[in-house]
Structure 1
């Protein structure tokens, strides 16, 4: 273990929002409300209060409905929203937007031109009048469609009484599910309130950009804004949640409904931009999730640029003077939807949201999910960011084209926000426990060792600049016990009858969700360790396991490029990041570095330190265990591309259904796992495989054809230079070529398994298995082609029959 660092300096106290609307200001850390009783007892007391003292219960509700004290939500920092007619006013502003008016005129003009070319409209002077009349008709018709779309889209927060009732309902449900409350940093809250006051004065919007792991994300942020007297943001929400009753409720509580895909609908795209412009021009707060959908893996997803591009265009175009960006991190002891996430990641179709499932949320009253921690990064000016980036572009030796400059600006914005979310994220006790259980060799861990490792990992997190949910004087043993209680026996098992309590991971797949909440802090150390493992796994003496700096650099570069879309790396560049990581690992006594005698700054070799070998490589292994599941997933992705090798009799270019290919890739992964050739079952998860395929598309390994119609599935095939060859005699895929070499390069950093050393056998078996699993894809293609031929023949026969009947009729007429 590395030597202990000085304890972190005291931080500002936390503000805890607990059951019953109580607010406590306390020392920053993992705390509970004063004089608390077990969660079950609190829950029973709340219910007993309803039965035994109904008048008090009704009085509590009436305080929220009527609005007493802070509950009135009268003194709000922000622009006025809650008044009758607000929704109609917003709708009118959107429909009068110069952008929308111009687009409607353009669409009407295009349609008139088409009808003129088709000869539907007249020519000459009379034709001009007719065209103008037709243009007016189309304009009016399009505006009617626009009005309907706007009414369905915009949020309708115009009733303060409704908002008070919604706040009460949401708080009661949420603080009973998360029985240790919702926690925020008082320092960050005071800073945010100061920014909000200035923004309100300047009529600038605050754009909240949270990470997205749960539906609870936007509920908790709305509750915090309400309780602190900040104007509630308009929240971008997918229209999959807009189902009866719930959709209307959410829309009146702040939801702005948008389609999951806009396609080529220019009117709808313009409406979304016009509505966002209107919100920002009037200084209304706004919220959208920079990742798009919820993360099913626990770590941040790559940014989605749809809504971000609208926000950027609003300010960059000058239609909006400025807006304030506020990245937000929301962390949970336990995420309520993780069970459904695992089903989805294993290939089960995502269930459609419905009222029945939504109402089943009442069952959360019996859960003990720990606490929610919400942290706000220091807000910053979007206008200032744009100006700063444009200055950087102007200093480049070659001037960027406007389109390229915009893409760079958008990508920089997205990854800057994600990086700042990581910066303020708090590592929860459940994430510490999950990480420890999944990064230890062996079946289980004793309680004393678990406590020791949790303390060590907490220290490592702080040393990396991360934040831990502080324990506020509570012994680590108590924190661990409560974390284990929240995770529950379905995730962490306890072996009975042993001298010491011994815990083991029951559901490693689900626990990986919590481990992934910490991996961003150690990604550089993990990559260096995985690169070193190419030598360490060879065994032998220390001199046999050392790696040259050039080899280390090449493998780290390869792995960092492989995971470019999977993780967020520091922006200083590979050489700087690698040098810093080597120094840090050396200072932690994990590695030993041999430097050049001529140049002390030049690293020649890197190897494990003597201290690290003596402690059983526990620190080195920790970093490897973090990254190995992702290396396995990338290797599986590469091996699954072998399925795309055309069959011997297949002629011409054949495009395969992308979804079916990824489904078969999952099946291949499950087979490899159960046969011992894949070490981590979580490597077969749908989300990581999808990211892997996207990365391989960027590298040009696969070609993907996407339709603008969302109902038409995308198709893919291997690029010619990446297509393996088959043996002319046996028809088997040969273990050579670019794809095989690429997969072997990944395999160098894979964890050694029981079947890894018999290389020739594995090579033959895995190739044959990939070919066998992929055969179904080609049989499907053959069946479609056969069906198409039959359909074509049937059409020809039908046409031929019609021709015969027509000829007979003509013959009869002549007689």
Structure 2
């Protein structure tokens, strides 16, 4: 990052797993400047709206068909890009519902490219960021949204669930029984200069017709999403979830789990993936991951043997899906 031209417009490109991504993005850039990024109008509720706005976000109406609104938003993003405002963008356009990476949506990316000129004073540099969590706070809600047949809780029920979750964790803290939610990990990829990209591909976005521009933006979006996908970190809970999902009926001793995890780590390493082993201690990583899975009742323990909880296979699959694309032969 230190090699990036200080006058360039820097845009962090992230996969979108949790609403905590906004906090994470703000934290990563805290020593530079507030990032500007789009957030859906769903977040315009107290106190979330005030927190997100303080971190540099602006609210957008996704999928709006209002032509005037879209023109104003396009101009705003193009001017911010042309003016060198540091930004973050989530190409997926929303949270993943099943843990897998989603195909990129191209609207905001297109607007950014309208503020970039090859002969302009500023380069535009995209910095891929891959993020993953041992615990996504909204995981069950996201799975409900992915299932059209599932019953969704009303507003009062959702509020009650949130308060119950907060009170449960407060009680555990007071009883000194609370455990952290595991690890959140971020990897930075190689910065992509748009001047270099355009030179290599022989393209000038400002001179393209409508159809050619759509194709060029789609190719750029796919390139950036692939760059993000390659650096999504492998953390303990998804690693263990992959083992349990692969053989949901099998019972494993801790020694067998360690052997299976070691084999997976070797496979991920051979594929060029970034595996995060906390404290560089595999035994510790295994214990942290298993503790989280047991606390959430995603796995069952009996006589020292562990197996997937049959009622929680979809949630285990959600975490396993976050790293499945990193292995050869797995589709994103």
TM-score with structure 1 setting the length: 0.36
The question of whether the paired residues in 2 share the 8 Å contact of 1:321 and 1:383 is answered with: no
| 1:541-585, Cα deviation, whole Å (9 max, x unpaired) | xxxxxxxxxxxxxxxxxxxxxxxxxx45xxxxxxxxxxxxxxxxx
Aligned twin of 2:123: 322
Aligned twin of 1:298: 99
* Distance 1:274-1:319 versus aligned 2 partners, 3 A rule: farther
In the alignment, does 2:38 pair up with 1:233? no
From 214, 235, 250, give the equivalent of 1:428: 235
Aligned twin of 2:175: none
Aligned twin of 2:109: 308
Specify which structure has the higher proportion of helix: 1
The question of whether the paired residues in 2 share the 8 Å contact of 1:315 and 1:383 is answered with: no
State the shift of 1:255 in Å: 1.2
Aligned twin of 1:205: 9
* Cα distance in structure 2, aligned partners of 1:454 and 1:382: 39
From 321, 333, 339, give the equivalent of 2:134: 333
State the shift of 1:442 in Å: 3.8
Aligned twin of 2:192: 380
Counterpart of 2:132 in 1: which secondary structure? strand
- Write the mapping of 1:464-483 to structure 2, written as runs, cut at 5 A: 464-474=271-281, 476-483=282-289
From 11, 21, 26, give the equivalent of 1:217: 21
CA RMSD of aligned residues (A): 2.8
The question of whether the paired residues in 2 share the 8 Å contact of 1:386 and 1:409 is answered with: no
* Distance 1:284-1:473 versus aligned 2 partners, 3 A rule: closer
* Distance 1:245-1:433 versus aligned 2 partners, 3 A rule: closer
The question of whether the paired residues in 2 share the 8 Å contact of 1:240 and 1:352 is answered with: no
* Cα distance in structure 2, aligned partners of 1:414 and 1:276: 17
* Cα distance in structure 1, aligned partners of 2:228 and 2:128: 6
* Cα distance in structure 1, aligned partners of 2:113 and 2:160: 36
In the alignment, does 2:45 pair up with 1:243? yes
In the alignment, does 2:221 pair up with 1:414? yes
- Write the mapping of 1:343-422 to structure 2, written as runs, cut at 5 A: 343-347=144-148, 348=150, 356=159, 360=163, 362=166, 366=178, 368-390=180-202, 402-422=209-229
The question of whether the paired residues in 1 share the 8 Å contact of 2:249 and 2:308 is answered with: no
* Distance 1:290-1:330 versus aligned 2 partners, 3 A rule: same
Counterpart of 2:113 in 1: which secondary structure? helix
- Write the mapping of 1:382-781 to structure 2, written as runs, cut at 5 A: 382-390=194-202, 402-440=209-247, 442-474=249-281, 476-487=282-293, 488-495=295-302, 498=303, 501-506=304-309, 507-524=312-329, 526=330, 567-568=331-332
Aligned twin of 1:261: 63
The structure with the largest alpha-carbon Rg is 1
The question of whether the paired residues in 2 share the 8 Å contact of 1:438 and 1:505 is answered with: yes
Aligned twin of 1:707: none
* Distance 1:359-1:433 versus aligned 2 partners, 3 A rule: closer
The question of whether the paired residues in 2 share the 8 Å contact of 1:329 and 1:375 is answered with: yes
* Distance 1:384-1:262 versus aligned 2 partners, 3 A rule: farther
Q: Alignment length, in residue pairs?
A: 316
State the shift of 1:337 in Å: 1.1
* Cα distance in structure 2, aligned partners of 1:411 and 1:340: 30
Counterpart of 1:310 in 2: which secondary structure? helix
In the alignment, does 2:32 pair up with 1:252? no
State the shift of 1:350 in Å: 6.1
TM-score with structure 2 setting the length: 0.85
* Cα distance in structure 1, aligned partners of 2:92 and 2:210: 23
Counterpart of 2:322 in 1: which secondary structure? coil
* Cα distance in structure 1, aligned partners of 2:220 and 2:48: 33
* Cα distance in structure 2, aligned partners of 1:483 and 1:390: 47
State the shift of 1:248 in Å: 3.4
* Cα distance in structure 2, aligned partners of 1:288 and 1:461: 27
Say which structure, 1 or 2, has more relative contact order (CA 8 Å, 6+ apart). Answer: 2
| 1:203-249, Cα deviation, whole Å (9 max, x unpaired) | x32111110010011101211221xx111211210111112443234
State the shift of 1:353 in Å: 8.1
The question of whether the paired residues in 2 share the 8 Å contact of 1:314 and 1:320 is answered with: no
* Cα distance in structure 1, aligned partners of 2:25 and 2:76: 22
State the shift of 1:260 in Å: 1.6
From 82, 86, 90, give the equivalent of 1:289: 90
The question of whether the paired residues in 2 share the 8 Å contact of 1:277 and 1:319 is answered with: no
* Distance 1:410-1:252 versus aligned 2 partners, 3 A rule: same
Aligned twin of 2:173: none
* Distance 1:243-1:478 versus aligned 2 partners, 3 A rule: closer
* Cα distance in structure 1, aligned partners of 2:118 and 2:151: 41
* Cα distance in structure 1, aligned partners of 2:152 and 2:46: 19
Q: Where has structure 1 moved over 4 Å in runs of 4 or more?
A: 316-321, 349-367
The question of whether the paired residues in 1 share the 8 Å contact of 2:230 and 2:326 is answered with: no
Counterpart of 1:343 in 2: which secondary structure? helix
* Distance 1:391-1:207 versus aligned 2 partners, 3 A rule: closer
* Cα distance in structure 2, aligned partners of 1:417 and 1:491: 33
